[in-house]
Amino acid sequence: MERPRHQGMAKNTYMRWRLPLVCLLWEVAMIVLFGVFVRFSPEADAHWEEEKREMNLTSDMENDFYFRYPSFQDVHVMIFVGFGFLMTFLKRYGFGAVGFNFLLAAFGIQWALLMQGWFHSFKDGKILIGVENLINADFCVGSVCIAFGAILGKTSPVQLLVMTLFQVTLFSVNEYILLNLLHVKDAGGSMTIHTFGAYFGLTVTRILYRPNLEQSKDKQGSVYHSDLFAMIGTLYLWMYWPSFNSAISEHGDAQHRSAINTYCSLAACVLTTMAFSSMLQKKGKLDMVHIQNATLAGGVAVGTSAEMMLTPYGSLIVGSISGIVSTVGYVYFTPFLESRLHIQDTCGIHNLHAMPGLIGGIVGAITAAAATEDVYGKEGFIKAFDFTGVYQTRTPGVQGGFQAAGIVVSLLMAFAGGAIVGGILKLPIWGDAAAENCFEDEVYWEVPEDEESDVYHMHNPDKPASP
């Protein structure tokens, strides 16, 4: 097979010492820090029998494990299969999509257990972890998976591990500001996960702008079966999103309500996505990119408000709008962002996470501001917004204002953090590939000789390279 000479082949993508070094360094650090800081929460500790007696619990069922473990497992599937397979749509980057997502998430959850633990579960010098910490760690890593979507195919695994280290840290700081200082509600993470993660990723990809990326244009598309693999990711994200938005809500009605609102929003989102996908194309045919992504915007857009009394019809409205916004984004905004703003957004996270995340933050602020004791009941009202202690006198209007402030803080953290981290990732030491080798598994993976096609043979040493 004759191929034009790759003029940029000079880039050194050799991973043999870099990747092991970073992996092992990171892991040793985790072991040391876990050894110093991390212990079991009382509900996971063998002293639980005594704890139960002290707390007057009559049944093991009262252990938080049984309230949250099924949702945790659903969230876990979303992070590893959902995000991992969603990104396999590229014809030659399936290993990188699912494999690097696996790597960064596996590291990220460890680091997130520590970072979030210091902020939220620190007691007598120890971080006490239980199932809710596992969910929160997965959530935190979700924001890294989102950012990964923007730079998919253009970064080395070492860059991803470095980015994960910094992004998890910044995520935790931002989350602390929102939840603890601003006393904002955001159980499904419209702001903390989606808005922050997406604008962080978009800033990073802007900094890492590659002017010659059209050299790998032939690899930026999908093939028939890669689109089906991606649909596995889409569907698992779509189906389990009710678990995502309800996983860390209060026990009882709040978890129940979050799941229902999310279910409704997502259902509506599918219809408007299909409508606009067909409408916006001359031939009226559906585009798999939209179906794979924009159908999920409804889950993002109720991330803040799902546990509030958004109501099922409110959810349908939010879901419908976010499906439209997201699909329109894929058709019009993504090309604009790339050509004018030099933001190369591989998976279109601007459409799936950034804009719907903003919608989610705004809907949350409005829903909070509109809350009344009549709708929530006296006790329900206090419980829903945790208007206790120093927040006893906060009104819904003020809460709405703080919710809005949470959006702004998340955006600022994302832009500033993304710029700094993008700068670090731009250093020429991390082993990223040249523009013409982007979106190509061959660079970092042993790729099997494929009898069905010769696309993976381009670096095959048995075949003479072009002169």
Nearer to a copy of itself, 14 or 408 (CB): 14
Cβ burial, residue 133 (10 Å; 0-12/13-18/19+):
buried
Angle 202-203-209 from CA coordinates, rounded to 5°: 85
Q: According to the binding rule CB under 8 A, does residue 463 interact with a copy of itself?
A: no
Residue from 10, 124, 285, 464 binding a copy of itself (CB under 8 A): 285
Are 365 and 404 spatial neighbours (Cβ–Cβ below 8 Å)?
A: yes
Cβ pair 33, 114 in contact under 8 A: yes
Cα dihedral across residues 118, 122, 126, 129: positive or negative: negative
The interface region with a copy of itself, picked from 59-67, 198-206, 347-355, 400-408 by CB under 8 A, is 59-67
For a copy of itself, give the closer residue by CB, 11 or 39.
Answer: 39
Using CA atoms, how far residue 362 sits from 110, 129, 265, 356, in Å, is: 31, 32, 15, 10
Question: What residues from 287 to 306 belong to the interface with a copy of itself (CB under 8 A)?
Answer: 287-288, 291, 295
184: left (phi over 0), alpha (psi -120 to 50) or beta: beta
When asked if residue 416 is in the footprint of a copy of itself (CB under 8 A), the reply is: no
Map the footprint of a copy of itself across residues 241-270, applying CB under 8 A.
242-243, 251-257, 259-260, 263-264, 266-270
Task: Work out whether 169 is an interface residue with a copy of itself (CB under 8 A).
Answer: no
Residues 109-138 that bind a copy of itself (CB under 8 A): 109-110, 113, 129-131, 134
Q: Which residues pair with 129 in a beta bridge?
A: 40
Q: State which of residues 2, 4, 5, 17 lies at the interface with a copy of itself (CB under 8 A).
A: 17
Task: With contacts defined by CB under 8 A, name the span among 90-98, 172-180, 203-211, 340-348 that binds a copy of itself.
Answer: 90-98
Judged by CB under 8 A, how many residues of this single chain contact a copy of itself? 141
Among 4, 125, 211, 284, binds a copy of itself (CB under 8 A): 284
Report in angstroms how near the CB of residue 270 gets to a copy of itself at its nearest: 4
Which listed residue (282, 392, 429, 464) binds a copy of itself by CB under 8 A? 282
* E-strand stretches of 20-81: 38-40
Both tokens assigned to 158: 């070492």
Q: Among 3, 7, 8, 50, which residue interacts with a copy of itself (rule: CB under 8 A)?
A: 50
Kindly tell me which residue out of 370, 419, 420, 455 binds a copy of itself, with binding defined by CB under 8 A. Answer: 455
Stretch that binds a copy of itself, among 17-25, 348-356, 395-403, 408-416 (CB under 8 A): 17-25
Cβ partners under 8 Å of residue 138, min gap 6? 72, 75, 76, 78, 79, 109
Distance CA 422, CA 411 (A): 16
